[in-house]
């Protein structure tokens, strides 16, 4: 019995010791600082903006530049023909100082091969020849210049291929010496000459050319406005010859010009017909003077009339006529 009590006592002591050890260990653990609370990290996912770019195809500019045909330089384009060549030309120029001389222009067809040899200078004996491209069309352009008192005269010749032929277009323009004008006309004249493009006129006429194909129109060609010379009689003669010019647009006071110098001033009407054709009669003088305009500087000279071919025009308040030729003989 005694032995059983001892065993029970020993078991109880072991249990007590175990409880004490457990309590000690728990006290040590409770004395440790509690770990800081860990806050959950909020993770925000940023949406990625996606831009959708539409692919736009930009047209590529063509390397060939197409220039539109030049607009008319005058109030009307008149149809005419020369030996099977039909073409149009402006009735007048839209200029105040640059003037036409041999007008209307002449276009003829040749069987020559179109070849352009570039050479010379405008004031040289044979002029200056250049190959010019206008609106993609080639032109062989020859410019021949000649100076006179107060003006310069330039004859332009445009050669170009068309309808199996080589066409030859010719006309002459007069350029005044702008320094001879008083202000503001001197500046106006200078500005006009610096901006004037004769190739616009040449190309405009050339583009209208047809060979053996007349123009078809329901409207008649407009009649030239202003002063028009129909004929000159005789067509040649020496100094002192009595000359009669017929035409339309003449008035009570007319100037007759030979190469833009005054051969006769204040020429009255000498005849009139029932169909409106008028006449001017004058005597070819031995000397001619400058064609002076109102309110501008005028050179003083007398040009002796020598044998040769002269361009004759008539000028009055209605304008300047077309040109016609007269040959002065000895």
| Least reliable range by pLDDT among 25-34, 240-249, 255-264 | 25-34
Highest mean pLDDT among 12-16, 32-36, 107-111, 208-212: 107-111
Q: What is the CATH number of the domain that holds 106?
A: 2.60.120
In total, how many domains does the chain have? 2
Residues 6+ apart with CB under 8 A from 215: 79, 86, 88
Interval 165-223: pLDDT, tens: 999 999 999 999 999 899 999 999 999 999 999 999 999 999 999 887 665 544 444 44
Judgement on whether residues 195 and 247 belong to the same structural domain of the protein:
no
Q: How far is it between the farthest Cα atoms of the chain?
A: 190
CATH number at residue 319: 2.60.40.10
pLDDT at 302: 79
Q: Is residue 60 part of a domain?
A: no
Residue reference for tokens 């004058």: 282
Strand-pair partners of 304: 287
Q: Is the same domain home to 83 and 205?
A: yes
Of 120-124, 159-163, 301-305, highest mean pLDDT? 159-163
Q: Is 277 contained in some domain?
A: yes
Are 125 and 248 in the same domain?
A: no
Which residues form the domain of 257?
Answer: 228-328
Average pLDDT (130-136) is 91
- Whether 290 and 166 share a structural domain: no
Cis peptide before 64 (omega within 30 of 0): no
Query: In terms of domains, do 204 and 251 share one?
Result: no
Instruction: Categorize the per-residue pLDDT at 278 as very low, low, confident or very high, splitting at 50, 70 and 90.
Output: confident
Residue 106 inside a domain? The answer is yes
């Amino acid at each position: 019995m005694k032995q059983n009590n001892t065993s029970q006592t020993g078991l109880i002591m072991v249990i007590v010791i175990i409880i004490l050890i457990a309590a000690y260990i728990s006290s040590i653990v409770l004395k440790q600082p509690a770990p800081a609370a860990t806050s959950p990290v909020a993770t925000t996912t940023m949406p990625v903006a996606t831009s959708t770019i539409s692919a736009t195809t930009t047209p590529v500019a063509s390397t060939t530049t197409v220039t539109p045909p030049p607009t008319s330089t005058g109030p009307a384009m008149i149809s005419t023909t020369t030996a099977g060549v039909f073409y149009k030309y402006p009735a007048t120029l839209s200029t105040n100082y640059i003037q036409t001389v041999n007008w209307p222009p002449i276009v003829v067809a040749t069987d020559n091969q179109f070849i352009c040899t570039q050479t010379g200078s405008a004031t040289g004996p044979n002029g200056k020849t250049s190959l010019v491209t206008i609106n993609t069309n080639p032109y062989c352009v020859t410019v021949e210049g000649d100076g006179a008192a107060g003006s310069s005269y330039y004859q332009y010749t445009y050669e170009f291929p068309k309808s199996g032929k080589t066409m030859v277009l010719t006309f002459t323009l007069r350029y005044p010496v702008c320094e001879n004008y008083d202000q503001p006309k001197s500046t106006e004249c200078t500005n006009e000459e610096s901006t004037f493009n004769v190739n616009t006129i040449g190309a405009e006429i050339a583009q209208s050319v047809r060979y053996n194909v007349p123009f078809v129109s329901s409207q008649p060609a407009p009649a030239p406005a202003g002063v028009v010379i129909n004929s000159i009689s005789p067509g040649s003669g020496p100094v002192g010859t009595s000359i009669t010019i017929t035409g339309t647009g003449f008035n009570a006071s007319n100037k007759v010009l030979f190469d833009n110098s005054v051969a006769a001033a204040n020429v009255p009407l000498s005849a009139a017909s029932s169909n409106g054709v008028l006449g001017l009669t004058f005597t070819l003088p031995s000397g001619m003077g400058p064609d002076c305009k109102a309110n501008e500087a005028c050179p003083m000279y007398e040009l002796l009339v020598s044998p040769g071919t002269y361009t004759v025009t008539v000028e009055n308040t209605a304008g300047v006529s077309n040109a016609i030729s007269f040959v002065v003989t000895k």
